[in-house]
Amino acid sequence: MIVGVLGLQGAVREHVASLSRLGIESRVVKTTDGLDGLDGLILPGGESTAISLLASDGFMSRLRTMASSGFPMFGTCAGMILLATGIEGRQSGHIGRIDITVSRNASGRQVDSFETFLDIEDIGNDVPAVFIRAPYITRYGPTVRPMASYKGQCVMAREASILVASFHPELTDDTRIHEYFVGMVRDNEI
């Protein structure tokens, strides 16, 4: 199994490190060719506008096609914004594959960053989560499964092969969320 980590901008190395702690081979992907032969893809946090501008149209359209065909993707923070169908204040999504609307920077400014512990459906309790200018999920469709909330706000969800989190699991030593995604990738291969 090889899991790609979108490497245009953001917390790329940290996801690679989390995967390697689980013994999973990964590849940093910056171009369309880099997507060949992958079994799953992580879209890291950073700045969604920057990531979308750095990605070529061809690259974005290939990501859209892959996401539509059931290829497992996990978006954290800015990565979640890229995967959302709706972004408050914007007319359209970027990859737009999970039926949620997100509110960017809903958790506050950089100086308002915080770490907390979440109880996550299907994953476990007291999972550490780092929020940095995090988006919240303000709407989710009927086929989306909400998995965690923070102060009444939905912060993690899954729809079929797409998993998203408002926060950064890769900035902690806890690998349970990555393990869960690796399980999704495995299930997809069977």
Active site residues: 77, 168, 170
Q: CB-wise, 48 or 175, nearer to ligand GLN?
A: 48
Residue 15 structure tokens: 């996801």
Residues 86 to 115: which contact ligand GLN by CB under 6 A? 104-105
Span from 32-40, 42-50, 57-65, 139-147 in contact with ligand GLN (CB under 6 A): 42-50
Round to whole Å and give the CA distance between 19 and 23.
6
Among 9, 18, 26, 48, binds ligand GLN (CB under 6 A): 48
Residues 105 to 164: which contact ligand GLN by CB under 6 A? 105, 132-133
Span from 34-42, 45-53, 120-128, 156-164 in contact with ligand GLN (CB under 6 A): 45-53
Asked if 44 and 170 count as a contact pair (C-beta separation under 8 A), the reply is: yes
Q: CB-wise, 103 or 149, nearer to ligand GLN?
A: 103
Asked if 107 and 134 count as a contact pair (C-beta separation under 8 A), the reply is: yes
Among 39, 47, 88, 179, binds ligand GLN (CB under 6 A): 47
CA distances for 40 relative to 27, 122, 140, angstroms: 10, 19, 23
